[in-house]
Amino acid sequence: MLYHILAVGDVVGEPGLRHLERHLRPLQKLKGIAFTVVNGENASGTGLTPEQAQRIYAAGADAVTLGNHTFGRAQIQTFLDDVPYLLRPANFSAAAPGRGWGIFPMGDMRVQVVNLIGRCDLDWRAADPFTTADKLLSQGEADITLVDFHAEATSEKLALAYYLDGRVAALWGTHTHVPTADTQVFPKGTGYVTDLGMTGPIHSVLGVEPQQSIQHFLGGLPGRYRCPEGPCKLQGVIFTIDGQSRRCTAVERVEIR
């Protein structure tokens, strides 16, 4: 049996969240999606609130992953401990609230979702994502493993994918909000893409009002990110997994405007 797994790029602001709510379930029905992971760390621009996490889950996500803006909203901290579908990077300090992985049902299979954060140009003092992945995979409690690697450097994302090739069904990158044209299946059966893209305003700089971003680069004072209104896009990738071999057989990019 083949399973279609959808990974959705970073949801940015209220416009991106509304677009997800409007289009995720129709996309799941159209593509026969069995399991969905959504990165939600930018739902508030930087971070997300419990209410926004619940909206992403209600929109159709089976798991919601985060990244460097995990604690951008203070009220999310206790919520991370209470809700099993909401994951923060597993290689954060063990003292951080929440969990970095979870096991979820997908038909008669058990899916482990792992959230990791990169260390190149992301100053979070995180543990090594490579050895963290080794520890989580050694538990062997799931049938397949999916990895959201929230990282800046394309080299770090590719290196981790090759390191885990054949041990995880799929690994995708988030954080840079720009979709990459390198969807592929690695030699030992791991599906991969360097970055999913984002779910948010089309006419923006990574989801931010262009003029605000321009002023930032011109030396203007920083301020709370503002998302422009207007048309939005939902960007992501569908990984087709063979339930018998537990390997990825195809990777398809999707964009809904």
Tell me whether strands 191-193 and 184-185 are parallel, antiparallel or unpaired.
antiparallel
Query: For residues 229 and 171, is the Cβ–Cβ distance under 8 A?
Result: no
Q: ∠ at Cα 22 (20, 26), nearest 5°?
A: 95
DSSP string across 194-217: S---EEEESSSBTTB-HHHHHHHH
Tokens 């080794």, located at residue: 134
Handedness of CA 71, 210, 233, 197 (dihedral sign): negative
Q: Is 69 a catalytic residue?
A: yes
The candidate with the shortest Cα–Cα distance to 16, out of 177, 172, 150, is 177
With H, G, I as helix, E, B as strand and everything else as coil, classify residue 48: coil
- Active-site annotation holder among 4, 19, 23, 69: 69
CA distance 19 to 151: 24
Q: How many of the other CB atoms lie within 10 Å of CB of 87?
A: 26
Residue 40 tokens read as 């939600």
Q: d(Cα 225, Cα 122) in Å, to the nearest integer?
A: 19
Tokens 């940015």 -> residue = 12
Q: Which residues are catalytic?
A: 69
